[in-house]
Structure 1
Amino acid sequence: MSGPGADILLGHARDSEFTLIGESHGNRETCSVGSWFLENLKGAGYKAFVTETGPSSTSVLLDAAKDRGLEGVAQTIRETPFSVAFLNHKEEAALFAHAATMGYECWGIDQEFMGSPRLILGALKQRAETETARTAINSALENAWDGFKHYAQTGSREKAFMFTAGAGQWNQLLEVFDAGSNERKMIEQLLISQRIYGMYHKGDFFKSNSLRIDFMKRMFSERIQASPDCRVLLKIGSAHAGRGYSPFDQLDVGNHAAEMAFARGGKSLHVLVLARKLIESDGKATDLVSETSPIRHFSQPGNESESQLFHLAELRSILAESKTKTAYPELSNLAFRYDFLLVLPEFHPSEPLVPIPK
């Protein structure tokens, strides 16, 4: 990106402890925006890149990225398909590998993905130092692969490890690693992820989201405590990246980052990235400027081919007035959650590294 809007964004980012990109998952363009930020913030104290992925699976992929770049990440994904969220797309994997090769720390702060046990247990198998540990991990790993094969054949997740692993199997896995070790933490994070999924599939969405967001905030806090002088770029879903309450009725990680930045004597920058159109791989175009989209307040005829930046923070004093807030509730919510709105002409779907079953 270039131009006066790009300069304004960079200026605010360089003055911030944390920059958060609120995205619509699965498009190429937001990956390009992330890459642009990474390249331009490297000399401004930014040392870490956060993705909406599990901590342990991200660590495994980071090792692959440091070793062989994008090809290392892609090979790992192909060997254990559907084991990590979002990074199983080419453009997302390329951005992640780019961050790693630039020397950024790469942190995953979300729950572990439903299919992640195959990836994580496979990594733990390489670290097992005793026969007892190898036996426990091999048994769990076999169960995880059996569950995945059942899913591949039937489309059913009923035998997925995250659904079938019981207290006995978890205890066996926990007992073979020392308390406080990284390996023990990897098992504990899988167990928490199972609880999050369990609540969700029982229909207890609020408690599931609450536990998930608590986990995300705790993971981010632990990373910051270990690297107190580190500025961070976060690229996460738009529901999570804003200040205040999220659409899930949670004080989400975006709000947490804002408070942490303030506690450090600084501030955070929150940028929402949207597009006017979605262009499918077959060329079909879908208009994203709907009656419920915040873009409609900023869309003007004749500028559909241009990227535009809107400084939402400048609207807050107006939108804080009760009459205006009542008249434009969704615009008010947007302006108080995000500092800037970046509107791109088009989104194009990112390319899966492994074809998604239909």
Structure 2
Amino acid sequence: MKRLILLSFLATFSFCSDAQTKKSPKTLSAEHLKKYTSYFTIENGGFKGKGTKTIKNLVNSSQFITYGEIHGSYQVSAITKAFMPLLKKAGFNHFAIEVGPTSAKKLTELSTPAEKTVENLKAFNSKYTVSKGKESAHPIPFFDAVSDAEFLQEARANGMQLWGLDQEYYYATFFLVDELMRTVEGTSEASRLTSLKNTAIQIMYKHFLDEVTEKIDDAYPLIVKEKAVNDFFDAFPKDNKEAQEIINNMKISWDIYIRWRNDSHVDRISYIRNNFMKHYNEALAKEKKPKVFTKIGSLHASKILSNGAFDIGNLTEELAQRNKTQSTAITTWIPFKQTEKGLVNNFEKYKRNYARYSMITPLAQKDQWAIVNLKEVREQIIKGKVALPTNGDYHKLKRLIWGYDYLIMPSVDQENTPNRTN
């Protein structure tokens, strides 16, 4: 009996010793990440360099690509433009954007024919943008610059259909009112509605001016209560479906803005998701598995919980899993930017934001784009071949690596040129 117990003890001891001598996975490091990073440039609107293979592979293997952008970046517009021919070749027909449904329809109109896009957007922005110094109130966000018009032109030239996902922008009201009036041009209601419109516009303008001069905090809580505004909306015939849709989109957008301090963010995200699904289901009637390229702020592109909501990156991941296809989420960092005051290193300027990513930031280059394959890094972690650090960096790194499949860091960014006269 003693002998059996002793043999059992020795066998157990031997097993424990073997387990203890097995190598633990190496902690993720900059050297490790280099293996999953490739570089490219964008020349004459196309990709050049080793990283091109990574770009083409992700396009060709995906049903959904959710490109998480940094708003207002010239380089983001450049890469969006460069994506378009690859997307067309891979069978993508749909381009979802972070604007309201009516705004997307307007952009479709302004980009028809495609070669008139820059010219048409310039006239539109010049008419509806209000500027003072460097501050501007745009009617449609993220389509104010020449580079924005150029990627839109390329998208439309490659047959992309635009999907408007978001609420209508805060400063879209005056252009939307004009769109409303276009629905009654040449009808018997036009004259009366014009009179109602003029009264409503004057009241709206007064509240906006009071907000700008800080007499009030927000204009919309007052605008929605104005009798003249509601009389104007109510005067549109109920069978005018186009007008009713515009009015509904405006009211939803205003409500989200009014409640922004009271958790309306999740209502906004639900609106984005619902608009995506509306377009997607319409596309399903014509295509078995519609391919969609979405350009949206980086937080929205995450596959996991982001800012308290399961955003569009999460939705497309769910759809891909259901379809047994692939959804690719990309996030963007802008390491360097050339400004009037010289070259700015954003990793230094925003040290607190990037402090936990010290193993990633050295991968950025000033003269070429870096693309980090986070998907492969994630797979290595899941397989136990590499481990996340156990200090505080763990949390931000895991959120990044589990939220996105690729990180793109452009070469030096630059200031945008406004596509308007004012």
TM-score, with structure 2 as normaliser: 0.75
- State which drifts further: 332-341 or 307-316: 307-316
Whole-Å separation in 1 of the counterparts to 2:55 and 2:156: 23
Instruction: Name 1:69's counterpart in structure 2.
Output: 117
* 1:180 shift after superposition: 8.4
State, as a whole percentage, how many aligned pairs show the same letter.
20
Counterpart pick for 1:190 among 250, 254, 267: 250
Q: Which residue identity lines up with residue 155 of structure 1 in the other structure? A: V
Shift in Å at residue 162 of structure 1?
7.2
Q: Is the 8 A contact 1:18 1:261 kept in 2?
A: yes
1:139 is aligned to 196
Look up the equivalent residue of 2:118 and give its one-letter code: L
> How far, CA to CA, are the matches of 2:198 and 2:398 in structure 1?
49
How many angstroms does 1:317 deviate by?
4.4
Residues 106-126 of structure 1: per-residue CA shift (max 9 Å, x gap): 122111011112112212211
Measure, in 2, the Cα distance between the counterparts of 1:34 and 1:3. Answer: 17
Deviation of residue 223 (structure 1)? Answer: 0.5
Q: Is residue 42 from structure 1 mapped to residue 88 from structure 2 by the alignment? A: yes
1:297-335 CA-partner distances (Å, limit 9, x unpaired): 223389443322111012224555797365321111101
Structure 1 residue aligned with 2:396: 330
Q: Which amino acid aligns with 2:244?
A: R
8 Å CA contact retained: 2:70, 2:334:
no
SS in 2 for 1:236: strand
* Cα drift, residue 152 of structure 1: 6.6
5 Å matches for 1:100-115? 100-115=156-171
Higher-Rg structure is: 2
Change (3 A) 1:234 1:190: same
Aligned-residue CA RMSD (Å): 2.9
Inter-partner Cα distance in structure 1 for 2:364 and 2:265: 41
Distance 1:171 1:154 in 2: 23
Distance 1:305 1:53, change over 3 A: same
Cα gap change, 1:183 to 1:349, in 2 (>3 Å): same
Partner of 1:231: 291
C-alpha spacing 1:301/1:259, structure 2 compared with 1 (3 Å)? closer
Deviation of residue 83 (structure 1)?
Answer: 1.3
In structure 2, how many angstroms separate the alpha carbons of the residues matched to 1:325 and 1:187? 51
Match runs of 1:79-98 below 5 Å? 79-81=127-129, 82-98=138-154
The aligned counterpart of 1:292 is: 353
- Give the aligned partner of residue 67 of structure 2: 21
Q: Is the CA contact (8 Å cut-off) linking 2:337 and 2:346 kept in structure 1?
A: yes
Q: Is the 8 A contact 1:66 1:101 kept in 2?
A: no
2:11 aligned partner: none
Q: Structure 1: which 4+ aligned runs deviate by more than 6 Å?
A: none
- TM-score scaled by structure 1? 0.87
**What secondary structure does 1:166 align onto?**
coil
How far apart in 2 are the matches of 1:172 and 1:297? 57
What one-letter code is carried by the residue in structure 1 that aligns with 2:416? S
Q: Which amino acid aligns with 1:63?
A: E
Q: Which runs of 5+ in 1 are unaligned?
A: none
SS in 1 for 2:109: helix
Q: Distance in 2 between matches of 1:83 and 1:162?
A: 20
For residue 235 of structure 1, what is the amino acid of its counterpart?
K
